[in-house]
Structure 1
């Protein structure tokens, strides 16, 4: 029987805001979901005292962790399934909250398999202009290269996830509706979540989503909701609850993958957490290990064509 692996992406609010017991409870909740790969955002303070908090979270999760620059983001991985091949500390000049990015080999696929580019990211909160520039640099994870055993240089598959602080482009039934400026009571936040359109009127910010999909990184929830046999729509559930200041429910936390990985997807959904725990919910993705291994063992020319 084919195994499943679980990928979680979560912006845990302020990393528990210094409350160690709360932080441990939050990560014990992640453990209950049996994750093999965790993409975390808001890792504030995890680098203090020689990365003391980071090591604590590794112990709770039972996963190896990598903490990105400025303790903004992190990746945790099951070392029985993922072998680190390279870290990417230089992720571009525009980041306010730098991502954590790695090249990982999925070890069940074998030592000669094509690796994955994996990144946890957090786009800028306040500036739509900065977010777009950050997204343009984020798109480079769909363009990482690897030298195959035959000597051919190939583009490798990518899996990235995080807090986009912006909305998915509308157009799919069942997705969380795009708000309007009038739905957002907080005036500064109206600025944060919109940009001037061609006629000068402000438009809700969907540009990061559009940019990533232009670069060949598909919104996995959108893909699954469109292609699942049962017409599953919970993939596109809210990831942030409505609030008096920030407006209606929104789906700002998303996972993206290059098209070559979509055949390994078996489900994606949202795990809601109490607002007393965090202001963001958890995005959960499951992948079929056999399908993933097959994808990573395609001939290099097939991978190159799939990502061209």
Structure 2
């Protein structure tokens, strides 16, 4: 990806168990830093809360001095928190709140683009890996970011599937051939007496004529003529859960779609060395973003 000063770059990065060790984390930070993101939606900040959030601040420093936020791990719940990082040279921080949910909290940060009055709501989500019903609840919670005419961007590991399957380039999932029975229970729902892939979060967030969010990779792939934006993102390693699917999403309220320049999915050899998810990058025209955020709600 070419980086220039006329665009705003947003990354969604699920780093498997936060890299697991210092060397892997450093390689991951270098990959992410090379794209010079202004906003990063992070998943699996495993252990980053420990020792005064040392690993969180190390990552923020490696990314050029970003301002980092993360959810606090809760006892008895997921130990893989979500986080948001923003470039303080581009944004002023307004507020940080966690949306507490039964398994994994959503990290929600409010910012203002410099010299622009409208608040931008940012949220990093990692939908529940084991419960389709809870994923639907988490997706509905994310819709509140856009309530009352607010503008929002969210990046997540959806642990579920896009609902517009004819447009996807992933090899179709044939559940009868999936070897992992637990994965089958986690990722399917019953419709008309048949177990099918869970697409409810995608339907809730981006479906219908009154969609709350735009799936920006889908927009890039079908409107901007960038089929690579629909490249599958996970799992890049396991072979017992069927072929990789596009489960990592960057979504924006519909006002963001006209500003989108491109979406890229990075599943390079180095990315596969550090994680089981591809890195997703969305680039927006900065002047168009300034226009979006120029009028306060």
Query: Could you state the TM-score of these two structures normalised by the residue count of structure 1?
Result: 0.86
State whether structure 2 residue 159 is matched by structure 1 residue 133. Answer: no
Task: Please state how far the C-alpha of 1:232 moved relative to its aligned partner.
Answer: 1.5
State whether structure 2 residue 280 is matched by structure 1 residue 283. Answer: yes
State whether structure 2 residue 30 is matched by structure 1 residue 41. Answer: no
Distance 1:95 1:257 in 2: 25
Aligned to 2:76: none
- Count of aligned pairs: 281
Bigger-Rg structure (1/2): 1
Distance 1:186 1:243 in 2: 10
Distance 1:138 1:117 in 2: 11
Aligned with residue 208 of structure 1, among 190, 201, 204: 201
State whether structure 2 residue 161 is matched by structure 1 residue 159. Answer: no
Task: Please state how far the C-alpha of 1:273 moved relative to its aligned partner.
Answer: 3.6
State whether structure 2 residue 103 is matched by structure 1 residue 96. Answer: yes
Distance 2:276 2:40 in 1: 18
Aligned to 2:246: 251
Q: Is the 8 A contact 1:128 1:192 kept in 2?
A: yes
Matches within 5 A, 1:111-150: 111=116, 113-143=117-147, 145=148
Aligned to 1:305: none
- Cα displacement string for residues 137-163 of structure 1 (whole angstroms, at most 9, x for unaligned residues): 1111121x5xxxxxxxxx221100110
Aligned to 2:233: 239
- Please give the secondary structure, in 2, of the residue aligned with 1:269: strand
State whether structure 2 residue 290 is matched by structure 1 residue 293. Answer: yes
Distance 1:299 1:125 in 2: 37
Aligned to 1:267: 262
- Please give the secondary structure, in 1, of the residue aligned with 2:273: coil
Unpaired runs of 5+ residues, structure 2, are: 74-79
Unpaired runs of 5+ residues, structure 1, are: 146-154, 301-308
- Please give the secondary structure, in 1, of the residue aligned with 2:167: coil
- Cα displacement string for residues 231-280 of structure 1 (whole angstroms, at most 9, x for unaligned residues): 21001001113732111120000111110111111111101143321100
- Please give the secondary structure, in 2, of the residue aligned with 1:72: coil
- Cα displacement string for residues 33-84 of structure 1 (whole angstroms, at most 9, x for unaligned residues): 1111111100010011111111111111121101112160111111011111
Task: Please state how far the C-alpha of 1:218 moved relative to its aligned partner.
Answer: 1.3
Shift in alpha-carbon separation, 1:171–1:165, aligned structure 2, 3 A: closer
- Cα displacement string for residues 254-307 of structure 1 (whole angstroms, at most 9, x for unaligned residues): 11111011111111110114332110010000011100111112475xxxxxxx
Distance 2:203 2:129 in 1: 18
Distance 2:239 2:222 in 1: 32
Q: Is the 8 A contact 1:183 1:248 kept in 2?
A: no
Aligned with residue 26 of structure 1, among 18, 25, 28: 28
Distance 1:14 1:185 in 2: 24
Shift in alpha-carbon separation, 1:170–1:182, aligned structure 2, 3 A: farther
- Please give the secondary structure, in 2, of the residue aligned with 1:88: strand
Q: Is the 8 A contact 1:9 1:40 kept in 2?
A: yes
Query: Could you state the TM-score of these two structures normalised by the residue count of structure 2?
Result: 0.89
